Structure 1
Amino acid sequence: MLSDYMLLHVFQIHFVLLISRQGKVRLTKWYSPYTQKERTKVVRELSGLILTRGPKLCNFVEWRGFKVVYKRYASLYFCMCINQDNNELEILEVIHHFVEILDRYFGSVCELDLIFNFHKAYYILDEVLIAGELQESSKKTVHRLIDAQDSLVEAAKEQASSISNMIAQATK
């Protein structure tokens, strides 16, 4: 559970990367301005840096005047870039919080869940973080919001299907 200190302390996350063990990017979210060329270079650099680190090394890397905090879950590395003066342990908690929400939604999240349901992963991330800051620390609240969105999507699909059926009947 996220501590009360985290709720009061503001930290800035510059970007979030989810990278597979093979170096494939599965999700990126940029909260600071980077050109497409810079983003490509950042992903390449960090993939090479993080994927080559041993499993017994700490989960923090100093990089370009920032700190990159990462945690491996199964075949995915969840990475967040923060300022030097931010607390790495807070960010590890945020990463774990995000993973727990993904796990609950997907039922033990795996890389394929993120590949085939990337839009849901982005939506969940947007419920947890906004503008690089923690938006919602309550897993229950996030799940309630996700369920509400899923209900809206289902209702829209049913309405679209019903309209399609009416059009098909009218054109016969």
Structure 2
Amino acid sequence: MLVAVNVLSTCMFQIQFVLLISRQGKVRLTKWYSPYTQKERSKVILVYKRYASLYFCMCIDQDDNELEVLEIIHHFVEILDRYFGSVCELDLIFNFHKAYYVLDEILIAGELQESSKKTVARLIAAQDSLVETAKEQASSISNIIAQATK
């Protein structure tokens, strides 16, 4: 596993976009990192790997290393699996904002930002804690307003 982390931490390329597509062809998640014309699209290649009922796709330049991108895809899937407990298509449908947050912790502007699964898990847990705190505060404010308006 140490080798995979070293490979991930030395990536020197930019991912153009990320797609998660179901077997039925429905797009479940998209993240675009750079715009390009139709002519430029012919210069990029699509690297994908299927996990269960989802295809994880990333677009890279022809000169970039496909094996590194496959490793990033696997890294993303492992983190989603840890977070959702065996991630499935429904997790992405009903918790798409969390899937985007995980992706944003791993990739920024199409470049690998964080290769440590523990660090990503810690950041996601902190974000979930902030969201729960905000929900509780909003609920208590709503209760105070409701009491005041009676």
- Please tell me the TM-score bracket, short chain as reference: over 0.9
Pairing of 1:46-57 with structure 2 (within 5 A): none
Q: CA deviation at 1:8?
A: 2.4
The question of 1:122 aligning with 2:100 is answered yes
Letter in 1 for 2:58: M
Task: Find the counterpart in structure 2 of residue 10 from structure 1.
Answer: 12
Structure 2 gap ranges (5+): none
Root mean square deviation, CA, Å: 1.5
Q: Which ranges of structure 1 fall in alignment gaps of 5 or more residues? A: 39-62
TM-score for the superposition, normalised by structure 1: 0.81
Alignment partner of 1:100 is 2:102: no
Structure 1's consecutive aligned runs of 4 or more residues displaced over 3 angstroms after TM superposition are: none
Indicate if the aligned counterparts of 2:45 and 2:61 stay in contact, CA closer than 8 A.
Answer: yes
Q: Give the match for residue 90 of structure 1.
A: 68
CA distance 1:164–1:31, shift in 2 (3 Å): same
1:169, CA displacement in angstroms? 1.1
Answer yes or no: is 1:68 the counterpart of 2:46. yes
Query: When the two structures are superposed, what TM-score results if normalisation uses the length of structure 2?
Result: 0.92
Within 5 A, what are the aligned runs for 1:92-171?
92-171=70-149
Aligned partner of 2:33 in structure 1 is 31
Identity, in percent, stands at 82
Partners of 1:117 and 1:21 in 2: CA distance: 19
Instruction: Give the aligned residue type for 2:23.
Output: R
CA distance in 1, matches of 2:7, 2:92: 31
Q: Of 57, 73, 78, which residue of structure 2 is paired with 1:79?
A: 57
Aligned residues: 146
